[in-house]
Amino acid sequence: MKEYQVIGKPVPLIASREKATGKAKYTDDIRLNGALHIKILRSPHACADIRAIDASGALKAAGVRAVITGRDFNHTFGVLPISKDEPALARDTVRYVGEPVAAVAADTEAQAGEAARRIRVEYEAHDPCLDPRAALLDTDRPIHPELGRGNNLHKSARQEFGDPARGFGEAAAVVEGTFDFQPLTHGFTEPHATQVEIDAQGSITVYSSTQVPHYLHRALAEVLEIPMHRIRVIKPHLGGGFGGKSDPFPHEMIAAKLALITGRNTRLSLTREEVFSSNHGRHPTTIDMKLGLHPEKGITALSTDVLIDGGSYGSFGVVTTYYNGVLLHGPYPAPNFSFACDRVYTNKPMCGAMRGHGGVNPRFASEVLFDMACAKAGLDPCEARLKFIHEPDTVTANGFRITSVGLKEGLRKAMERSAWKEKFGKLPYGKGIGVACGFFISGSALPIHWNKMPQSTVRLTIDFDGGVTVYSGASDIGQGSDTMLAQNVAEVLGVPMSMIRVIAADTGLCPIDLGSYSSRVTFMAGNAARNAAIRMRRILVSAACKLLEIGEPRYGKPGGPDSFFRQGGRKPDFDDPYLGPNPDYSDGFEARELTFRPSAGPREGAGVPYLDAVRKAMDGHGALQTQGIYVSPKMGGDFKGAGAGLSPGYSFTAFISEVTVDPGTGFVRVDKVTGAHDCGFPLNPLSVEGQLDGSIHMGLGQALMEAIRYDPKLGVVQNASFLEYKMLSPFEQPEIDVGYDANVDNEGPFGAKEVGEGALAPVIPSVANAIHDAVGVRLRSLPMTPDRVLAAIEAGAAVTPRNENGKGGM
């Protein structure tokens, strides 16, 4: 394998020192001149009509500069153009407890809070619809009457491939079950915050903790009814997103509106409770799934019927609806496949995208069923998975293009390291080992707003000082994307990381990028940065040739993969504005340690210092500037929903978890997770490990304890704090041994694929399968809390005969 200089090396994130020392400025740390403080008045009802709002008391209160209500907005918004159903402030009805109803801007935070309390809202409360099953029934008070439906259905998706009935007929083992999932919050550290700076021309700069500056920019223009060019969105340092900051939010519209009305700068920060009531977390879900397995053919049929509870608004819900089905087309082929998913509206805070978006819950169901089928068919769960994982360069039943797959070797090694063969089915009662696999997209191939723009554009400049500036619209949300961009550029240009400055997530300065979601940034923005750097390299190499008085390298169409699986039939072309994904840029020069050296020819080994090349290139030309783009190859079928889940690359994961179950109390301790993640070539092992540890931590939270609890009658969140909403403490984090051997993906930048999301899902079923190995019970509801485990053991003890280890059958 090629020896790189910065790629593949553990590089500390470029902002880590600033963050660790407290210097980094997050949105709330910004101090704008004389900013007004905003307080949002929220609904105490889950379902009510607003009869009247009397803000006179608030307007008379000390320090108050403006009060706004739903009447001040003419447009609703939403991240998806197909469900722009959310108002900045509720107009005639409120749809969940905590929905913004009015907002006050005042000189101090205390004044804003005091004034908000003086707003009188007259509500006519109605019985809320809180149960997703009830939401499917006819009602004369639908939550979104504008859809013209007599019930609360939001979105239905149906797909079928092959012949499921025949497939089940061919199976050696058919298993099925109903699986139940709770609502979850992302649990990021930094609550949402927004500050708005307004200039004398009435143009606004919106600082916001967002994963999607671009979508926020668009939504602001629409909701505020001002031209897009009068808006600039900047994402300062961000304290975690996980999908919880990937929509435009009401508070962002409110802060901007109040700045426009008052002509003053404005600021607001949500409390943790407000974050809970804004939600956008994982959908509560019920899945009925059936799986047929054959010892030689693999999954002969898979059918699934899903109901997801979307809460009050659309958010990413249409995508979630599809992802609940389409992400089951890996990690194993399922030629006969049927899927139905309904998303309903209920009077709860809306659900949206959360790490592993839409793929986590169905993965739990399918991997538990796969385990059950193995037990029934007498197959070793690891061996069976090994056998049926997708082969590279294949197409799934629904038209996903599966390119690189590096999981088999990884799983094999994980089996050895965990001593799977010696342990599975052989540990004493209470101890167990279980396996599960998963796969995930590296970015969505289709844009949310239909257009032919590249998914990602990155601009590079080099000026007289030799410093390289990378301009990218991608949002570093703590995951390290700025560092990733800098690494790509540093590697191509042969300059140290310290000479690279990344200016990102500023819609006024940076070229368009769609944002940080669907694990797209490394694959797409990384490729764009790499391409911009290759173009820059050509300029510098050309200058170096002049200084060395040799001819310039001839750039033709470099050799490259030309099959359907590589780049959708396109070859990289150095004369084209688009170089293609991950093009080979060998130009006969070696660029390292700030020197360009020809690696052959008459001046072989002669060095041109980087700065000399820069100056030469600038002669008669000025500052150097290049641009790189990423465009997804064309792919996918031609049927409804064919675009959902299409990605230029897929990551693959396998986890083997070992647990100890206390049969007296039902407590489950996860002792160790061994596994493998195929993220292609690991650009930065430090980041890869951070993401894997984090995915396991977050996945185990869902597995063992996390759930938002709503009051069953009122719909108010009962545990809106990190004391009562239980995420894993460091004590519950297991020992981790996950390999990520380099498996080069031809299209990812330097061979990389995603690592941020895919690894979350499979850890959950691996624990469920390990619990089964330990005490012989199958858990189908998350979280697998001690009370549920104990109840299952007690029920299981009554019906399941035990084998010699005291363990149950299927």
Residues of this chain that bind other proteins (CB under 8 A): 42, 44-45, 97-98, 109-110, 113, 271, 273-274, 277, 664-665, 704-705, 711, 714, 716-720, 723-724, 726, 728-732, 785-787, 790
Least Cβ distance, residue 469 to other proteins (angstroms): 40
- Secondary structure, 3-state, 506-525: ECCCCCCECCCCCCCHHHHH
Q: Which residues of 5-26 are buried (b: 16+ CB within 10 A; e: fewer)?
A: bbbbeebebbbeeeeeeeebeb
Q: DSSP secondary-structure letter at 20?
A: H
Least Cβ distance, residue 289 to other proteins (angstroms): 27
Q: Is the dihedral of CA 692, 693, 698, 700 positive or negative?
A: positive
Q: H-type helices in 159-304, by residue range?
A: 164-170, 213-224, 250-262, 272-278
Q: Which is nearer to other proteins, 101 or 216 (CB)?
A: 101
Q: Which residues contact 145 (CB under 8 A, 6 or more apart)?
A: none
Q: Which is nearer to other proteins, 460 or 793 (CB)?
A: 793
Residue type at 250 in one-letter notation: P
Least Cβ distance, residue 95 to other proteins (angstroms): 14
Q: Which is nearer to other proteins, 148 or 730 (CB)?
A: 730
Tell which residue, 240, 214, 82, 725, has the closest CA to residue 504. 214
Q: Which residues of 660-677 are buried (b: 16+ CB within 10 A; e: fewer)?
A: ebbbeebebebebbbbbb
Least Cβ distance, residue 790 to other proteins (angstroms): 7
Tell which residue, 671, 675, 653, has the closest CA to residue 662. 671
Residue with tokens 């915050």: 193
Residue type at 202 in one-letter notation: G
Q: Which is nearer to other proteins, 406 or 694 (CB)?
A: 694
Measured CA to CA in angstroms, residue 663 lies from 482, 660, 758, 775 at distances of 47, 9, 32, 8
- Where does 446-594 show beta strands of DSSP type E? 456-462, 468-472, 500-504, 589-592
Q: Which is nearer to other proteins, 579 or 790 (CB)?
A: 790
Q: Which is nearer to other proteins, 299 or 720 (CB)?
A: 720
Phi-psi bin for 793: left (phi > 0), alpha (psi -120 to 50), beta?
Answer: alpha
Q: State phi, psi for 342 to the nearest 5 degrees.
A: -115, 135
CA distance 50 to 710: 23
Q: Are strands 266-269 and 93-94 parallel, antiparallel or unpaired?
A: unpaired
Q: DSSP secondary-structure letter at 641?
A: T
Q: On the CB side of 669, how many CA atoms lie within 13 Å of its CA?
A: 11
Q: Which is nearer to other proteins, 327 or 705 (CB)?
A: 705
Least Cβ distance, residue 177 to other proteins (angstroms): 23
Least Cβ distance, residue 348 to other proteins (angstroms): 13
Least Cβ distance, residue 727 to other proteins (angstroms): 8
Answer yes or no: are the C-beta atoms of 766 and 784 closer than 8 Å.
no
Least Cβ distance, residue 39 to other proteins (angstroms): 11
Least Cβ distance, residue 518 to other proteins (angstroms): 31
Least Cβ distance, residue 42 to other proteins (angstroms): 6
Q: Which is nearer to other proteins, 551 or 730 (CB)?
A: 730
Q: Which is nearer to other proteins, 727 or 744 (CB)?
A: 727
Answer yes or no: are the C-beta atoms of 488 and 531 closer than 8 Å.
no
Least Cβ distance, residue 705 to other proteins (angstroms): 5
CA distance 11 to 688: 11
Tell which residue, 348, 291, 327, has the closest CA to residue 157. 327
CA distance 303 to 291: 7
Q: Which is nearer to other proteins, 376 or 726 (CB)?
A: 726
Bridge partners, 52 (sequence order) = 122
Q: Which is nearer to other proteins, 782 or 790 (CB)?
A: 790
Least Cβ distance, residue 193 to other proteins (angstroms): 14
Least Cβ distance, residue 255 to other proteins (angstroms): 19
Answer yes or no: are the C-beta atoms of 258 and 67 closer than 8 Å.
no
Tell which residue, 315, 307, 306, 321, has the closest CA to residue 352. 315
Q: Which is nearer to other proteins, 532 or 716 (CB)?
A: 716
Q: Which is nearer to other proteins, 6 or 705 (CB)?
A: 705
Least Cβ distance, residue 5 to other proteins (angstroms): 42
Crossing angle (nearest 10°) for helices 213-224 and 250-262: 50
Answer yes or no: are the C-beta atoms of 244 and 14 closer than 8 Å.
no
Q: Which is nearer to other proteins, 96 or 440 (CB)?
A: 96
